[in-house]
Every structure is written in structure tokens, then in C-alpha cells.
Amino acid sequence: MIDWQHFTPWASLAGGILIGVAAAMLVLLNGRVAGISGIVGGLVGAWRGDVAWRVAFVLGLLVSPALYAFIQGRPVVRIEAGWGTLVLAGVLVGVGTSYASGCTSGHGVCGLSRLSPRSLVATLAFMAAGMLTVLFTR
Amino acid sequence: MNAIAAFAAGLVFGVGLILSGMSDPSKVIGFLDVTRAWDPSLAFVMAGAILVGFFAFALARRRSEAFLGDAMQLPQRRDIDARLIGGSIVFGIGWGLAGFCPGPAVVSFGSGQDKAAVFVVAMLAGMALYYGLASRNDVSALDDAASAQKKKNPAV
């Protein structure tokens, strides 16, 4: 059943377009794929002499809530998970995206935009796993 | 200049995540909860992003250099293997448990959420764990960008 009460098609579409614009900026100006797990992972594991753009991009992400708050008001962040669940989930996301070489942004947005079969398989796998997890834990 | 462009891209990306609802874990879980009260909004996020991304990557593919002069580094791999599928499933489980994927977690950390901070630290630990294992077992396990870079410049 559709949850019409929380359905926000226009805001979500507009936000999606902004995400697409940001991915376009990064690939056309810097020649890089806007995959957040890859950008952050590159700072954690393999310092390959291309640190500046990664740090700059992550700083942009960190500052974005302040810009949003200035224009629109404080962002809504409702976190239902407890502390232990957050730690477990964080480790799983870190390990999983590293093995998969990508996450929702790298595979789901950029990979599907490139029509990559690898990214389609990855996206279907993490969507299905996420849906099953919610089905069994919520 | 390149760092300024990357900063601007991160800023726009983050605002997009917040506006779209992706940075609100409750909304993400509402999207993943297909069998009960399903909130399909986040499908519109992907549609909007791909709508723009499709044309951007089509243009990027035809260039060997980005507009600011760096080499164009697009993923080259085509293989679908157990690492890709297994890794994605593990990621999906974590995503479903907390409602956070990497981008929104970093953004919510930036808005001062202590729970997001805990998630981000755990995620960094997970990545460090992977790189620790990868450097011991299999150096070729490093990401797509690295392999693309090696192809372009074997000395790296």
C-alpha cells in the first residue's frame, strides 16, 4: 500500500536533479565519478596523491546542511536505530561498499547513468537486501 | 580551481540529498518498506538524478580530459563477480538497518547529528578493515578508479 501521507514526489525529483547536476559537475570539471563510498574510501585506505579533490568534495557535503538551513530551514533527520544498530550498520556499509566498489551514488546514480551492467546488478542487490532487511527487522 | 569545483559539487550534492529526503533515515526506511506503508518518493530521486546524469556521462565518455584539465577517469570494469554482489548485499543490509548510506550519513554528520557521527565512524572503520584485508590478500581489490588510473598511467 502506498504511504500517500509521506509521499513527496516533487521535492524528491528536484533533489534528485540537484544530485544529477552535482555528479555532472564532478565528472565534467574534475573527471571523477561522484561515488561517495569511493571518495571517502580513497581517503581511508589508499592515499594515491589525489587527496585534495576528495577532501574538497567531502567538505562540500559537510557544509551543505548549513547552506540548506540558510535557504530552507533545518534539515529533517529522524534516526530510529539505536546506538548498537548504528555501529553494526556502519561497519556493514563500510565493508560492503568497499567490496562492491560503490554505493547508492556510485552505482545507483552514476553507474545507472552510464548504463553499466555491473552497477545495475549492484543496485538491484543492495535494494533487495535493504528491502528484505526492513521487512524482517521493522 | 579543481578543488573549488569539487567543493561546489559536494555542496550541491549535499543540498540535493537533503531536499530529496535521502538524508532522513526514516524516509529511506519508508521507501525500503515495500510490503507495508510504502513511500515511493526516493524512486523519484533516482529518476531525477539519472535524467541529468545520463547526458553528463554521455558527454564525459567522449572526452579524454575533464574541462579543468584532469584526466577523465571513468570506471572500466565490466565483470560481475561475487565481490560485487556479496558486497552490495552486505551494504544493503546495513542500509536497511540504519536507513543511512554513505552520502546522507556524511551530510547528517555535517548537520551535527551525534548518531550520524557514530555511523560515520563505524563506516570508516569498516572501510579501513577492508583496506587492511585487501592490502594483505589482494592488492588488485582496490577500487575502479585505481584500475582506471593504472590503465591510463602504468607508472602510478
Where do the domains of chain A lie?
8-137
- Would you call B88 and A13 a contact, using CB atoms and an 8 Å cutoff? no
Tally of domains in chain B? 1
Nearest CA in chain B to A21: B52
- Would you call B83 and A100 a contact, using CB atoms and an 8 Å cutoff? yes
What value does the mean pLDDT take over residues B63-69? 95
Nearest CA in chain A to B36: A1
The shortest CB-CB distance from B45 to any of A19, A48, A125 is to A19
pLDDT higher than 50, residue B151: no
Nearest CA in chain B to A2: B38
- Would you call B127 and A44 a contact, using CB atoms and an 8 Å cutoff? yes
Look up the ipTM and state it. 0.96
Is residue A138 very low, low, confident or very high in pLDDT (cuts 50, 70, 90)?
confident
- Would you call B107 and A109 a contact, using CB atoms and an 8 Å cutoff? no
Contacts of B155 in chain A (CB under 8 A): none
What is the pTM assigned to this prediction?
A: 0.92
Contacts of B73 in chain A (CB under 8 A): 31-33
- Per residue in A79-129, pLDDT (tens digit) is 999 999 999 999 999 999 999 999 999 999 999 999 999 999 999 999 999
- Would you call B131 and A98 a contact, using CB atoms and an 8 Å cutoff? yes
| Domain assignment of residue B99, given as a range | 2-152
- Would you call A121 and B85 a contact, using CB atoms and an 8 Å cutoff? yes
The full DSSP string for chain A is -B-GGG--HHHHHHHHHHHHHHHHHIIIII-----HHHHHHHHHT---S-HHHHHHHHHHHHHHHHHHHHHT-SPP----S-HHHHHHHHHHHHHHHHHHT--IIIIIIIIHHTT-HHHHHHHHHHHHHHHHHHHHH-
- Spatial distance between the Cα atoms of B98 and A54, rounded to a whole number of angstroms: 25
Contacts of A96 in chain B (CB under 8 A): 87-94, 126
The full DSSP string for A7-40 is --HHHHHHHHHHHHHHHHHIIIII-----HHHHH
Helix (H, G, I), strand (E, B) or coil at B22: coil
pLDDT higher than 60, residue B153: no
The shortest CB-CB distance from A94 to any of B24, B54, B123 is to B123
Residues 58-87 of B with CB under 8 A from A: 59-61, 65-68, 70-75, 77-80, 83-87
